[in-house]
C-alpha cells in the first residue's frame, strides 16, 4: 500500500536549452542540437505549473546561463511564488551575476575537483578561474551559492579540501552528489565509499540525501516494486516546449504543450503513462538523484525517512522551509 503525501507534481525541470559551453566527460547533453525557450511559452507554462501544484522550478540545461532571458524567467517565477533553483558551471556567472542577484533561492556552482587542472579536464574547458571569481562576486552581492560536488571514486578523497577551502570559510553549503549511472545496477561507489559519504553528511554545512545512499545499497530502483515517482512528482519541459515523459533521461514521449500544459498533463494518455513510472525495463537499477529527490519527498517509505533529516537541514539553512509549508 502506497502512503502518498502529495498527489501533484512538486518540481519542474525546465530545460531552457540543451546547449552548453562545457564538454563534461560524464555528460553528453552538450552534444545535442537545441533551441532556446521563449519568454511567452515560459510565462504560460509557469502559470499552468502553479495550477498543477508545482512548488520548485529548476531552470536547467545544458548551461542555463547561456539563455539571456533567464533573469526574466526567474522574475516571473518569483512573482508566482515558486522556489527557484539554478545549477551553473559558473563560466558565465561573472557576467550575469548582477542580473541574477536575489532571484535564485538555490544557486549551485558545480565543482569536480579543487585542483584546477583536474576540474578543467573534467569539464572539457578551462573554467576553474571563473569558478573562483564567481565565488568572490557572489559574496560581494550577498549571495550564498552552494558548492555542488559530484562524488566519484576518484575524487571522494577531495571532499575535505573542498569543504575546508570553499564551504566553511564562506558558510556555503556543500552538496554531495553521488554519481549515478543511468540504466546500471546500483552505484559505482563501493560500500566503503558510501559509508564515507554518510559520515560527511552529518557535518555542518553539508547536504547529503541519505536516501540516495540507501537506494544505492539496495541496487537502485527495481521495476517489480519501483521506488521511482519521477513521472508523478516531476514535470520535465524541453527546449522545444514539449512535455517529456516519463523523465528526461528515458524520454520515451515528447508531447507538444502549445500553451496548454495544464490540459495536456491531465489527459488520459499522460496519466496512463505516469502510472508506468519506474516500471520500464530501462528503469531497473536507476538511481538518478534529481528524480529520486522528489520521489522520496512525495511518498512515505524508508527512503522518505532516510531523506527527511537532510531535507530539513538544507531548507533550514537556505531559508526555503517557509515556502514548503
Short-list 15, 19, 38, CA closest to 27? 19
Q: Quick one: average pLDDT of 274-290?
A: 93
Q: How many CA atoms lie within 13 A of 59 on its CB side?
A: 35
| Closest to 189 in 3D by CA, of 148, 220, 149, 152 | 152
Question: What's the CA gap between 230 and 149, in Å, rounded?
Answer: 23
Instruction: Assess whether pLDDT exceeds 70 at residue 280.
Output: yes
Q: How much is the pLDDT for 300? A: 87
Is the pLDDT assigned to residue 152 strictly greater than 80? yes
Kindly report the pTM of this predicted structure: 0.93
**Helix (H, G, I), strand (E, B), or coil: what is residue 61?**
coil
pLDDT digits (tens, 9 = 90+) for 190-211: 999 999 999 999 999 999 999 9
Average pLDDT over residues 60-84: 96
How many folded domains does the chain comprise? Answer: 1
Residue 278 φ/ψ region, left for φ over 0, alpha for ψ in the -120 to 50 degree band, beta for the rest: left
Check residue 180 and give its pLDDT. 74
For 90: left if phi > 0, alpha if psi spans -120 to 50, otherwise beta; the answer is: left
Side-chain half-sphere of 72: how many Cα atoms within 13 Å?
11
Give the pLDDT band of residue 30 (cuts 50, 70, 90): low
pLDDT, averaged across the chain: 91
> For 255-270, what is the mean pLDDT?
97
pLDDT band at 7 (very low <50, low <70, confident <90, very high): confident
- When pLDDT is cut at 50, 70 and 90, the band that residue 318 belongs to is confident
Cell 538523484: give the residue.
289
Query: What does the block give as the cell for 60?
Result: 536547467
Q: Is 320 left (phi over 0), alpha (psi -120 to 50) or beta?
A: alpha
For residue 191, give Cα distances in angstroms to 183, 188, 198.
19, 10, 10
Q: Which domain holds residue 229?
A: 3-324
Identify the CA nearest to 188 among candidates 161, 154, 163. 154
Q: According to the model, what pLDDT value does residue 293 have? A: 92
Task: Work out whether strand 174-178 and strand 146-151 pair parallel, antiparallel, or are unpaired.
Answer: parallel
Q: Is 188 left (phi over 0), alpha (psi -120 to 50) or beta?
A: alpha
Residue 41 has a CB neighbour count (10 Å cut-off) of: 17
Which three cell numbers mark 272? Answer: 496512463
Mean pLDDT across 258-276: 96
Is residue 322 pLDDT above 60, yes or no?
no
Q: At 218, is the pLDDT very low, low, confident or very high (cuts 50, 70, 90)?
A: very high
How many Å apart are CA 287 and CA 219, to the nearest integer?
8
For residues 85 and 113, the answer to whether their CB atoms sit within 8 Å is: no
Q: What's the CATH number where 122 sits?
A: 3.20.20.70
Give the span between the Cα atoms of 317 and 246, in whole angstroms: 32
Amino acid at each position: 500500500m502506497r502512503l502518498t503525501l502529495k498527489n501533484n507534481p512538486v518540481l519542474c525541470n525546465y530545460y531552457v536549452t540543451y546547449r552548453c559551453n562545457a564538454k563534461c566527460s560524464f555528460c553528453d547533453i552538450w552534444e545535442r542540437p537545441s533551441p532556446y525557450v521563449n519568454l511567452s511559452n515560459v510565462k504560460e507554462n509557469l502559470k499552468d505549473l502553479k495550477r498543477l501544484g508545482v512548488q520548485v522550478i529548476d531552470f536547467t540545461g545544458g548551461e542555463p546561463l547561456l539563455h539571456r532571458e533567464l533573469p526574466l524567467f526567474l522574475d516571473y517565477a518569483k512573482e508566482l511564488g515558486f522556489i527557484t533553483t539554478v545549477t551553473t558551471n559558473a563560466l558565465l556567472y561573472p557576467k550575469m551575476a548582477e542580473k541574477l542577484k536575489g532571484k535564485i533561492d538555490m544557486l549551485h556552482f558545480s565543482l569536480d575537483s579543487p585542483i584546477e587542472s583536474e576540474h578543467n579536464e573534467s569539464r572539457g574547458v578551462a573554467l576553474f578561474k571563473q569558478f573562483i571569481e564567481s565565488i568572490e562576486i557572489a559574496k560581494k552581492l550577498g549571495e550564498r551559492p552552494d558548492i555542488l560536488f559530484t562524488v566519484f571514486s576518484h575524487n571522494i578523497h577531495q571532499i575535505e579540501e573542498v569543504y575546508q577551502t570553499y564551504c566553511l570559510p564562506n558558510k556555503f553549503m556543500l552538496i554531495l552528489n553521488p554519481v549515478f549511472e543511468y540504466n546500471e545496477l546500483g552505484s559505482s561507489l563501493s560500500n566503503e565509499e558510501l559509508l564515507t559519504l554518510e559520515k560527511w553528511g552529518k557535518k555542518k554545512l553539508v547536504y547529503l540525501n541519505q536516501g540516495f545512499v540507501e537506494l544505492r545499497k539496495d541496487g537502485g530502483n527495481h521495476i517489480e516494486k519501483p521506488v521511482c515517482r519521477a513521472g508523478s512528482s516531476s514535470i520535465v519541459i524541453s527546449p522545444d516546449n514539449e512535455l517529456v515523459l516519463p523523465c528526461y533521461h528515458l524520454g520515451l514521449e515528447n508531447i507538444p504543450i502549445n500553451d496548454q500544459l495544464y490540459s495536456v498533463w491531465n489527459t488520459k494518455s499522460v496519466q496512463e503513462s505516469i502510472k508506468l513510472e519506474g516500471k520500464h525495463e530501462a528503469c531497473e537499477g536507476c538511481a538518478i538523484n534529481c528524480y529520486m529527490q522528489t520521489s522520496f519527498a512525495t511518498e512515505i517509505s524508508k527512503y522518505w525517512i532516510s531523506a527527511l533529516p537532510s531535507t530539513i537541514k538544507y531548507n533550514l539553512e537556505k531559508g526555503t522551509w517557509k515556502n514548503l509549508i
